[in-house]
Amino acid sequence: MPWTKHELWIGFGLVLGGLAACSAAAGPPAKPKVASPETFSELQKDHWAYKPIVRPPVPTVAQRAWLLNPIDGFILAALEEVGAKPSSQASRTVLIRRVTFDLLGLPPTPAETAAFLADTRPDAYERLVDRLLASPQFGERWGQHWLDLAHYADSNGFELDAERPDAWRYRDWVIKVQNNDLPYDRFTTLQLAGDDVAPGDPEALIATGFCRSGPREVVGGNIIPEVKRQTELSEITGTVGSVFLGLTMGCARCHDHKFDAIPSTDYYRLQAFFAASELTDVPIASEGEKAAYKAAVEAVQARTAPLRKAMAELEAPYRSALSAAKTAMLTAEERQIVATPEKDRTPNQKKRAKGLETSIRVVWEEVAEAVRANPADHARREALKRQIYEHERTLPRPPAHAMALVDEKAKVDPVFVLRRGDFRNRGPLVSPRPPGVILASQRTPSFSDDAIRPRNDKTGRRSALAAWMARPDNPLTPRVIVNRLWQHHFGRGIVATPSDFGVRGEAPSHPELLDWLAAELVDQGWRLKPLHRLMVLSAAYRQASEPTTSLAADDPDNAFLSHMNRRRLDAEGIRDAMLLVSGGLNSRMGGPGVIAPLEKEIKDLIFTEQEVVDLWPVDPNPVEHARRSIYLFRKRNVRYPLLDAFDAPDTQTACPRRETSTHALQALTLINGEFALERARELAVLVLSQSSGRDDRITALYQHVLARSPDQSERGRARDFLTRQSELLSREGSAATAESSAWADFATALLNCNEFLYIP
């Protein structure tokens, strides 16, 4: 039977009375409970990744003649243990292409290949490696690997996806320090706490952009501030844990980690290092730069003032008509309120006036729609808009800022464990501390409250975390980074899950080698280039990619490295290689992201005609469109079709390892895509201009695209193709046009072959 209204009121009163009684009994708020120290079992502490790094001896092997450096001892010992042998050494042609792509992300030029093949000195390969390591293009290649981890982009993501005008400064900093071989411990420290450890240094501020590189919601009017703040801290905490420590810290945000010894308290202890930090843009421009920008803005405003006045006069009757129509819909009383000056309105009128004025406000979309009904006025308005836009696009970029993470207050708000990740459901209070299981697994204490030293306006928390990360006895930081280097050189990490060194991650295939490399990194002063050199000079790296032992059937993932792994070029490598072999690559380094043209189908799908102008203003200099892919403007919600088709990361989350998919869209992109077809035409023009005679041109094409000359069979098939294609095309046009088109089609075929797209 339904309750009567009287019964409902009685029940409601009883509930209120009970709540009041509970509140009175509760008394004043209880003091926050402090989280108890975590304890870990011997089994948890005994996990291989948490054990101290001890340099093992290089194993003794039977085939000593195969060894070229200590790396080979570990690889060969594992092979001999299972009765297998390594593959033969790859040809010099394969080696130069492999190592050039690995270190520079580009193919060798025909001249570079010819010079290497002609170099008969015993250390010719070592000289080649040293030249590549010294190239400025090294930083562009290896900077991209790090930007994958930082999930760098030039926009915020989410619905608005607004531009980050200074994000590129972090990208350029990463490239620069890779080239300069900045020690990895310093590289880590600056990205976590550059504002604290190097106060006043603009580049140190820029380095903290690592913590700002992920997606960020900046408008969300309906987002509760506490939720927004917690989302930002969660993004930083998860990224720092996975990138530097190889731990899936994010899995402990809402509850204790299901598999690893990471309780929720440890997640929030790590987050507490960032509790006082704010995501902010710090001015780093000089006074001269600021004055120059102000003068440029004033000059543009002066030039556009007559245009804006003309547009305002054109729009005036439309605005007036729209305003009158909206006002007519109000009641007489409402019109009286709107017409009354604000100073003469009663309190009630002031309260109502705000909503009324909003309801009759004329917005630009309404004006544009009204003007569109008059073709002459619409055309004039569009012309004025275009003139204003052309003036405004001549403005220099605004004065420089560092997209930074800084402490804006010395006092830190308390940090609580948030049950289920909900800021309203506070658990115990925690203080900053690295993951407890790592500390418990170390022989000597490596972190204490004394490590955090506040000074001036800095809490010292992030600098303390960075110092712990960069300790020589940290068991994870060196292991994680040397494994990432190995992964990119050999196609598979010693730990195949590069950002998960936990119990559910893959165990290392060569644990002693991993520890030897980690110890070598620390002993080399944390410099990475010596490790790059060691890896690519090893006999293991120089192996051919064709399996030659029966181990291939029992080791499908080639974990024992009995042969070199054959790898497809990454998305940027494909695009950059096409630009280089066709002679169009613009090697200029640095600067703001370049907005290159999108294919028409993509533009039509994403943007209206006006949005293309406003939201995708293509760089007016076509030479800039041929910059390396790392310099392309990365908008999270708009992705270049070629890069998207070949598995470029989506920049929403940190990407430790790119997937390699195979699907029909890839072939369609390379055969029919505007970018690929234009590169093929440019390549054909280049070869036709540089050589004469069909056979010489066929050879030149092979040397440009595949870094080798064709064999007799390939040469014969090329002649047949060119003959048939020229005859077919000559029926539709002149013989000269048919000949050049046939060469462009042949170039397209070579750019689509597996040998171009894969590194043997």
Element (H, E) at 464: helix 461-469
> How much is the average pLDDT of 392-400?
90
Number of domains in the chain: 3
**202 lies in a domain?**
yes
Query: Are 427 and 453 members of one domain?
Result: yes
Do 298 and 384 fall within a single domain?
A: yes
Q: What percent of the chain has pLDDT over 70?
A: 94
Distance of alpha carbon 113 from the chain centroid: 32
Q: Give the rounded distance of the alpha carbon of 393 from its chain centre.
A: 27
Structure tokens at 660: 């390699």
Residue-wise pLDDT tens digits, 269-318: 999 999 999 999 999 999 999 999 999 999 999 999 999 999 999 999 99
Q: In which domain, by residue range, is 698 found?
A: 672-759
Quick one: 278 and 193 in the same domain? Answer: yes
pLDDT in tens, 502-529: 999 999 999 999 999 999 999 999 999 9
Q: What is the DSSP letter of 91?
A: P
Question: For residue 428, is it within any domain?
Answer: yes
Looking at 424, 446, 474, the residue that finishes a domain is 474
Nearest alpha carbon to residue 417 among 425, 407, 405:
425
Claim to verify: residue 246 and residue 320 sit in the same structural domain: no
Burial state string for 201-221 with b = 16 or more CB within 10 A and e = fewer than 16: ebbbbbbbbbbbbbbbeeeee
Predicted TM-score of the model (pTM): 0.89
**In this structure, is residue 93 part of a structural domain?**
no
Q: Which of 447, 474, 501 is the last residue of a domain?
A: 474
Cα(477)–Cα(519) distance, rounded to whole angstroms?
11
User: CB within 8 A of 554, min separation 6: which ones?
Assistant: none
Q: Are residues 264 and 337 in the same domain?
A: no
Average pLDDT over residues 129-146: 98
Which pLDDT tens digit goes with each residue over 78-111? 999 999 999 999 999 999 999 999 999 999 999 9
Give the per-residue pLDDT at 709: 95
Please report the pLDDT score of residue 444 as a whole number. 67
| Cα–Cα distance measured from residue 85 to residue 87, given in angstroms and rounded to the nearest whole number | 7
Give 618's contacts (C-beta < 8 A, 6+ positions apart): 595, 596, 597, 625
Domain membership of residue 620 (yes or no) is: no
Q: Of 437, 457, 474, which closes a domain?
A: 474
Do 306 and 293 fall within a single domain?
yes
Q: Sign of the CA dihedral 723, 725, 729, 735?
A: negative
Positive/negative CA dihedral, 107, 112, 113, 117: negative
Q: Which residues of 456-486 are buried (b: 16+ CB within 10 A; e: fewer)?
A: eebbbbbbbbbbbbbeeebbbbbbbbbbbbb
Nearest CA to 483 out of 470, 501, 466 is that of 501
C-alpha dihedral (205, 631, 152, 107), degrees to nearest 10: -120
**Distance from C-alpha of 382 to C-alpha of 659, rounded to nearest angstrom:** 45
Confidence check: pLDDT of 681 > 90: yes
How far is residue 60 from each of residues 31, 64, 67, 72, 563, measured CA to CA in Å?
Answer: 62, 8, 11, 11, 21
In the chain, what percentage of residues exceed pLDDT 90? 74
Please check whether residues 280 and 406 belong to one and the same domain: yes
Whether residues 205 and 270 share a domain: the answer is yes
